[in-house]
Protein backbone atom coordinates (compact mmCIF):
# COMPACT_ATOMS: atom_id res chain seq x y z
CA UNK A 1 0.00 0.00 0.00
CA UNK A 2 1.32 3.43 -0.93
CA UNK A 3 1.84 6.06 1.74
CA UNK A 4 1.23 9.80 1.62
CA UNK A 5 4.97 10.25 1.02
CA UNK A 6 4.70 8.03 -2.06
CA UNK A 7 1.79 10.12 -3.31
CA UNK A 8 3.80 13.32 -2.87
CA UNK A 9 5.99 12.00 -5.72
CA UNK A 10 2.97 11.00 -7.81
CA UNK A 11 3.05 12.37 -11.38
CA UNK A 12 -0.45 13.79 -10.90
CA UNK A 13 1.03 16.20 -8.34
CA UNK A 14 4.47 16.65 -9.90
CA UNK A 15 3.00 17.58 -13.30
CA UNK A 16 0.37 19.93 -11.86
CA UNK A 17 1.45 23.54 -12.52
CA UNK A 18 -0.52 24.77 -9.49
CA UNK A 19 1.49 22.46 -7.20
CA UNK A 20 4.86 23.71 -8.49
CA UNK A 21 4.89 26.72 -6.16
CA UNK A 22 2.75 25.29 -3.37
CA UNK A 23 3.96 24.91 0.19
CA UNK A 24 4.75 21.39 1.38
CA UNK A 25 1.72 21.10 3.71
CA UNK A 26 -0.57 21.93 0.77
CA UNK A 27 1.09 19.27 -1.37
CA UNK A 28 0.77 16.80 1.51
CA UNK A 29 -2.97 17.52 1.79
CA UNK A 30 -3.44 16.93 -1.94
CA UNK A 31 -1.38 13.73 -1.71
CA UNK A 32 -3.62 12.47 1.11
CA UNK A 33 -6.70 13.27 -0.99
CA UNK A 34 -5.28 11.34 -3.95
CA UNK A 35 -4.52 8.39 -1.67
CA UNK A 36 -8.09 8.39 -0.31
CA UNK A 37 -9.53 8.65 -3.83
CA UNK A 38 -7.45 5.69 -4.99
CA UNK A 39 -8.33 3.59 -1.93
CA UNK A 40 -12.07 4.22 -2.28
CA UNK A 41 -12.32 4.06 -6.06
CA UNK A 42 -15.33 2.01 -7.12
CA UNK A 43 -16.95 2.02 -3.67
CA UNK A 44 -20.53 3.05 -3.09
CA UNK A 45 -21.23 5.97 -0.77
CA UNK A 46 -22.20 3.58 2.03
CA UNK A 47 -18.98 1.62 1.58
CA UNK A 48 -16.91 4.83 1.61
CA UNK A 49 -18.56 5.99 4.84
CA UNK A 50 -17.87 2.62 6.49
CA UNK A 51 -14.26 2.67 5.23
CA UNK A 52 -13.58 6.19 6.51
CA UNK A 53 -15.25 5.50 9.87
CA UNK A 54 -13.22 2.30 10.30
CA UNK A 55 -10.02 4.14 9.39
CA UNK A 56 -10.84 6.82 11.98
CA UNK A 57 -11.48 4.22 14.68
CA UNK A 58 -8.18 2.48 13.81
CA UNK A 59 -6.31 5.77 14.09
CA UNK A 60 -7.87 6.57 17.47
CA UNK A 61 -7.10 3.05 18.74
CA UNK A 62 -3.50 3.33 17.55
CA UNK A 63 -3.19 6.58 19.54
CA UNK A 64 -4.79 4.96 22.58
CA UNK A 65 -7.91 7.12 22.42
CA UNK A 66 -11.51 6.02 22.85
CA UNK A 67 -14.04 7.65 20.53
CA UNK A 68 -16.92 9.44 22.20
CA UNK A 69 -19.90 9.19 19.86
CA UNK A 70 -22.82 11.54 20.34
CA UNK A 71 -26.21 10.78 18.83
CA UNK A 72 -28.39 13.85 18.52
CA UNK A 73 -31.10 12.24 16.43
CA UNK A 74 -34.67 12.44 17.64
CA UNK A 75 -34.19 15.65 19.58
CA UNK A 76 -36.29 17.73 17.22
CA UNK A 77 -35.60 21.24 16.04
CA UNK A 78 -33.69 23.80 17.99
CA UNK A 79 -35.94 26.17 19.88
CA UNK A 80 -35.43 29.89 19.26
CA UNK A 81 -34.34 31.96 22.21
CA UNK A 82 -35.76 35.36 23.08
CA UNK A 83 -33.57 38.23 21.93
CA UNK A 84 -31.55 39.86 24.67
CA UNK A 85 -32.87 43.27 25.68
CA UNK A 86 -30.88 46.23 24.44
Every domain of the chain and the residues it spans: 4-62
Q: What is the pLDDT of residues 34-80, one digit of tens each?
A: 999 999 999 999 999 999 999 999 999 999 998 887 777 767 676 66
pLDDT of residue 65: 94
- Round the CA-based radius of gyration of the chain to a whole number and report it: 20
Of 68, 28, 35, 30, the C-alpha closest to 51 is 35
pTM exceeds 0.95: no
Q: Is the pLDDT of residue 29 over 80?
A: yes
Q: Can you tell me the distance from the alpha carbon of 41 to that of 68, in angstroms, rounded to the nearest whole number?
A: 29
Q: Where are the alpha helices (DSSP H) in the chain?
A: 4-8, 11-14, 24-39, 45-62
Q: Is the pLDDT of residue 81 over 80?
A: no
Q: Can you tell me the distance from the alpha carbon of 58 to that of 67, in angstroms, rounded to the nearest whole number?
A: 10
Q: Is the pLDDT of residue 25 over 90?
A: yes
Please count the other Cβ atoms lying within 10 Å of the Cβ belonging to residue 30: 20
Amino acid sequence: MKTVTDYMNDPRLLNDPEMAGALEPIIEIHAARLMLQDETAGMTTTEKVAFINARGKETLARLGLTPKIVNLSGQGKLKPRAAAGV
